[in-house]
């Protein structure tokens, strides 16, 4: 079981908070990894929501002339959505991996 957890950990980015958490407090099985991954997904989603709220309040406080000098807001929104989609997609792939590997391990 530990080898599957270690194999999963090796596939993570070494500078991520999730990797650091797995190193500091190792998981005994893939179910624990999956539970912890879901916690980090919720944390990242919450941080993004807060960043959007702070960013929108800053935009409202700017004067109209500074808005005109900024880049296209549609482009910025599209870029942010792509970044969010990419990270969410990556986490979904990780969870799909865990869901497919975990039943195989528990069957043995």
**Predicted TM-score (pTM) of this structure:** 0.49
Burial class of residue 95 in the structure, from the number of CB atoms within 10 Å of its CB (0-12 exposed, 13-18 middle, 19+ buried): middle
Q: What is the pLDDT of residues 86-96, one digit of tens each?
A: 667 777 777 77
Domain boundaries, the chain: 2-107
- How many Cβ atoms sit within 10 Å of the Cβ of residue 37? 21
Calculate the average pLDDT of the chain.
Answer: 75
Q: How many residues does the chain have?
A: 108
Per-residue pLDDT band for 68 (boundaries 50, 70, 90) equals: very low
What is d(CA 36, CA 56) in angstroms, rounded to the nearest whole number?
A: 31
Q: What is the pLDDT of residues 15-40, one digit of tens each?
A: 888 899 999 999 998 889 989 988 98
């Amino acid at each position: 079981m530990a080898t599957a957890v270690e194999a999963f950990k090796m596939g993570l980015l070494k500078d991520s908070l999730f990797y650091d958490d797995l190193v500091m407090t190792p998981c005994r099985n893939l179910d624990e990894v999956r539970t912890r991954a879901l916690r980090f997904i919720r944390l990242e989603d919450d941080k993004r929501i807060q960043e959007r709220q702070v960013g929108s309040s800053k935009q409202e406080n700017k004067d109209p002339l500074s808005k005109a000098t900024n880049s296209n807001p549609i482009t910025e929104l599209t870029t942010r959505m792509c970044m969010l989609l990419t990270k969410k997609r990556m986490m979904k792939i990780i969870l799909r991996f865990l869901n497919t590997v975990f039943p195989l391990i528990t069957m043995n």
